[in-house]
Amino acid sequence: MGVFGGAKFVVISLLVIDQVVATLGHAKGKREETVDTGSCDAFTGTWVHDGSYPLYDPSQCPFLEKQFDCLENGRLDKGYLEYRWKPAGDCDLPRFDGRHFLSRLRGKRLMFVGDSLSLNQWQSLACMVHTAVPEAKYTLTRVAGLSNFSFPEYGVQLLFFRDPFLVDIVSTSTGRALRLDSLQSAEIWEGVDVLIFNSWHWWLHVGRKQPWDYIQEGDKTYKDMNRLVAYEKALNTWAKWVDSSVDPSKTTIFYQGISPDHANASDWGEPKANACLNQTRPLAVSRYPAGPNPAELVVERVIRSMTYPVHLLNVTYLSQLRIDGHPSMYGLGRRRMLDCSHWCLPGVPDTWNVFLYQSLVAHSF
């Protein structure tokens, strides 16, 4: 177990982390497990330097997309690659074990559903698993919005379905309607064993980047709406679908959590800095100066109202600390358009996947 302490200790923290991940599902007393997060709150902690990181060599991950491959795009500082998340208190996250992950997922389909932050996490997971079994055959296909990374020998499919709003956008004679109460794409997710949902960033787009002309809810239409309010309505549509249509004994559902951006350096008390440009170290603070992300509170509220035990990957805070983790000028927009939303790979989404791994492994399925 090396730096992660004795085996017994790791097993204990596995269980506790699972309890932390599962906490939200208990709000209505549907399950009476006792939740004792005790001295281990896995989503609170600090980033520590660990020379055994990163978890993979991006040059050995042939399908890593250019937009996330910061080293290939010329990033020279490498400190950002060597941080490990250290939960507060008496616990450590164990290291990702790709072989173990594949054996637990044998015969299963796992699908990320959402925007390019889902793509970011899916790419990270594919690189992490491929690195563990570099000799194992894989196939990679992309048809319309569905990307499919498969290991035929293990019968494991790691899928990504692009669906940035989760609810539908429908073309009508009067323009493109964002329908807050309609969820047609759900048929693509049906029967998938593990689903990891994410949506938020596209709700903020205005002007040319906004892919709808008006919002529709029932027979009411709106020119626009407070975006957090619209987001909450859409998430409630999603929540109703999950509660009424998905069988918890067959499907494990995660919500990826809100991935914070670092477009505004005042958020972390450096008003003179140009967003995430040239940041090389995580914030060493015990509270993010701008506080929680408002969308994060919406997600918590919606999940808490559900009867389905959705597991929240509560990654917002730990990612808020990583002002150094974005492609910045080593992304697709180069200097012209700094990318302070996505994450370099290897990087922060690898840790999101360690949480995903932990939670799946701690579940018997």
Ligand X SMILES: *[C@@H]1O[C@H](CO)[C@@H](O)[C@H](O)[C@H]1NC(C)=O
- Least distance CB 194 / ligand X (angstroms): 13
278 binds ligand X (CB under 6 A): yes
How many Å apart are CA 225 and CA 351, to the nearest integer?
Answer: 34
342 is catalytic: yes
Tell me the C-alpha to C-alpha distance, in Å, between residue 6 and each of 3, 10, 45, 94, 349.
Answer: 9, 7, 20, 10, 26
Nearest approach, Cβ of residue 8 and ligand X (Å): 26
- List the beta strands (DSSP E) in the chain: 40-49, 83-89, 109-114, 139-143, 146-151, 156-162, 168-172, 175-179, 194-197, 214-217, 220-222, 252-255, 311-312
Q: Which is nearer to ligand X, 52 or 139 (CB)?
A: 139
Residues 162/145, Cβ–Cβ less than 8 Å: yes
Both structure tokens of 235 = 């998430």
Site for ligand X (CB under 6 A): how many residues?
Answer: 18
Instruction: Out of 19, 216, 237, 314, point to the residue binding ligand X (CB under 6 A).
Output: 314
147 alpha-carbon distance from chain centroid: 16
Q: Which of 13, 17, 43, 47 binds ligand X (CB under 6 A)?
A: 43
Q: Catalytic pick from 262, 311, 326, 342?
A: 342
Provide the 3-class DSSP secondary structure of residue 157: strand
Task: Out of 13, 116, 118, 319, pick the active-site residue.
Answer: 116
At its nearest, how many Å lie between ligand X and the CB of residue 316? 7
Of these residues, 92, 115, 168, 339, which one is catalytic? 339
Site for ligand X contains 44 (CB under 6 A): yes
Distance, CA of 341 to CA of 209 (rounded, Å): 15
Interaction between residue 157 and ligand X (CB under 6 A): yes
Active site residue 116: yes
Annotation marks residue 262 as catalytic? no
Q: What is the DSSP letter of 292?
A: S
Query: Which positions lie near ligand X, rule CB under 6 A?
Result: 23-24, 43-44, 139, 141, 148, 150, 152, 157, 159, 274, 277-278, 300, 312, 314, 317
Q: Which residues are catalytic?
A: 116, 339, 342
